[in-house]
Amino acid sequence: MSHVYDEDREIRAFLQFDPELGRELAAVPTSSGFNQGGPLNGVPFAVKDNIAVRSFRLTCGSKLLKDLVSPYTATAVQKLLDRGAVPVGKTNLDEFGMGSSTENSGFGMTYNPWDLDRVPGGSSGGSAAAVAMGFVPFALGSDTGGSVRQPAAFCGVYGLKPTYGAVSRFGLVAYASSLEVIGIIAREPSVLREVFSTIRGQDPRDHTSIGYSEAKQTRKRSTVGVPELGSIPLREEVQSSWEKTLDGLKRIGFQLKQIELPALDYLVSAYYVIACAEASANLARFDGIRYGSRAAGFSGNPEKLVRLSRSRGLGDEVKLRILLGTYVLRSGFQDQYYLRAQRIRTAIRREFEGAFSGVDLVLMPVYPCGPFKWGSEGLDPFSQKLSDIFTCSANMAGLPALSFPASVENGLPIGMQFLGPPFAEERLLQACERYARVFPLPSCPLYRPPDSQGTRDSEGIPDPLDG
């Protein structure tokens, strides 16, 4: 009998793998009642380790939270449990969701199942790799600036970032609250549809969540808006995939129309000002007193205790962002950074609104390059940030976006994404299904379908956080 964790030894998608624990949770009746027997009954899934599942750990990829066990379950996960789906484990991520490669995880990185010399993308890299490997048919992630779509693209699977507010954030550890949403990674659009229709909807425990009402398309023939990408250099592999996708869409009957999104050029800076500002506030609670490993021996000196707990427990990228966020919010300087960033945010929202009066969907690459190598041969942290340009636009505007495997270039998957107006998730799914019917893509070479029970034996699994 094979063990998922044995098979995961090379990829390191999971931080915790415990299907038994998940099965216990799935068997507990809740006040919202059981709705089992449907297509998700008994289906295993993985959860990014910044989303709470009771009795599982909730490390957020941070050494500071190594020992935190969640006392409660996120609404999105609970809705899946109510339909009989089984959370089998928690997946690796860049610490608190900050990054694009899992290299910022406090527990070591995850490797790309298509090529172990490359990153799986991030921050939900563990979720994407677990799905690409076939460990689970779907996984939950979070998308603040691309963290569901970019790893999905790097691992050759689908990644849905829903409309802001469509899925409750209750139980998602906040990084940048006004930008993020729980999203889904899967190998099949039909699975995304099933999971999305399960987890969406208003939740009294998240006041930014909204009731769902689908945005229907009125035009008969779908028109796809294609923005001018002139000022943003695409690497060869993405350029080639972009041209193939445009050509492919035309061939299967989509109408293409040029659109303008001039604010795109200012978006990355504005995104990082807003994301870091919100992060500096959201992460204040991880101080070694309310949450997090406490530096021993300083109970009489709380200031020193907090300083030491944070400087030992948090990684460099997280510290950098807390400092940046504190800097842009300091008194007297808000106009210069934060308010300017908000104005750019309004501009991109208006530009999309304008575009969607003439088109049904917008097509963009997910990332300017394909899956890059890890370590010094890869992308430095600054270039990784600049490369968030295409993904963070949907977060800044609150729009739904779906990344799909568009082509394989030099043996590696390249993803493109459709964006739509609020609540147009179904439209995005249908467009991807249409594309996949004509241009099906191979699974990653290491993919193996799950066995008849949907998952594999888990006996004797070592704890990935130890050692």
Among residue numbers 33 through 62, which ones bind ligand GLN (CB under 6 A)?
A: none
**Radius of gyration of the chain, Cα coordinates, nearest whole angstrom:** 21
The only residue of 144, 393, 443, 455 in contact with ligand GLN, by rule CB under 6 A: 144
User: Interface mask (CB under 6 A) for ligand GLN, residues 257-276, using x and -?
Assistant: ------------------x-
Q: Are 88 and 22 in contact (CB under 8 A)?
A: yes
Any contact of residue 92 with ligand GLN (CB under 6 A)?
no
The only residue of 21, 40, 64, 98 in contact with ligand GLN, by rule CB under 6 A: 98
In angstroms, give the least distance from the CB of 99 to ligand GLN: 5
* Closer Cβ to ligand GLN, 56 or 175, answer by number: 175
Q: Are strands 223-227 and 361-365 parallel, antiparallel or unpaired?
A: parallel
SS3 16: strand
Which of 11, 6, 4 shows the shortest CA–CA distance to 109? Answer: 11
Among residue numbers 272 through 301, which ones bind ligand GLN (CB under 6 A)?
A: 275
Q: Are 71 and 167 in contact (CB under 8 A)?
A: no
Chain centroid, CA 310 distance in Å = 25
In angstroms, give the least distance from the CB of 31 to ligand GLN: 31
* Closer Cβ to ligand GLN, 70 or 104, answer by number: 104
CA neighbours within 13 Å on the CB side: how many for 350? 8
DSSP structural state of residue 340:
H
Among residue numbers 162 through 191, which ones bind ligand GLN (CB under 6 A)?
A: 175
Taking the C-alpha atoms of residue 229 and residue 347, their distance in angstroms, rounded to an integer, is: 18
* Closer Cβ to ligand GLN, 275 or 277, answer by number: 275
Any contact of residue 369 with ligand GLN (CB under 6 A)?
no
Any contact of residue 388 with ligand GLN (CB under 6 A)?
yes
Q: What residues are paired with 223 via a beta bridge?
A: 255
Omega of the bond leading into 190 within 30 degrees of 0 (cis): no
Any contact of residue 95 with ligand GLN (CB under 6 A)?
no
Stretch that binds ligand GLN, among 51-59, 142-150, 152-160, 192-200 (CB under 6 A): 142-150
Q: By 3-state DSSP, what share of the chain in percent is helix, strand and coil, each rounded to 5? A: 35, 15, 45
DSSP structural state of residue 336:
I
φ and ψ of 326, to 5 deg: -70, -40
Q: Active site residue: 62, 123, 209, 403, which one?
A: 123
Per the annotation, the verdict on 123 as an active-site residue is: yes
Stretch that binds ligand GLN, among 8-16, 92-100, 125-133, 239-247 (CB under 6 A): 92-100
Taking the C-alpha atoms of residue 132 and residue 467, their distance in angstroms, rounded to an integer, is: 26
Residue nearest to ligand GLN (CB): 147
Among residue numbers 216 through 245, which ones bind ligand GLN (CB under 6 A)?
A: none
Q: Active site residue: 70, 100, 147, 407, which one?
A: 147
How many residues form the binding site for ligand GLN (CB under 6 A)? Answer: 14
Taking the C-alpha atoms of residue 31 and residue 290, their distance in angstroms, rounded to an integer, is: 29
Stretch that binds ligand GLN, among 33-41, 81-89, 145-153, 334-342 (CB under 6 A): 145-153
SS3 256: strand
The only residue of 146, 371, 400, 415 in contact with ligand GLN, by rule CB under 6 A: 146
Chain centroid, CA 364 distance in Å = 17
Count Cβ atoms within 10 A of the Cβ of residue 234 and give its class: 0-12 exposed, 13-18 middle, 19 or more buried. middle
Stretch that binds ligand GLN, among 98-106, 125-133, 227-235, 366-374 (CB under 6 A): 98-106
Question: Which spans of this chain sit near ligand GLN (rule: CB under 6 A)?
Answer: 97-100, 123, 142-147, 175, 275, 388
- Would you name the residues annotated as active-site residues? 48, 123, 147
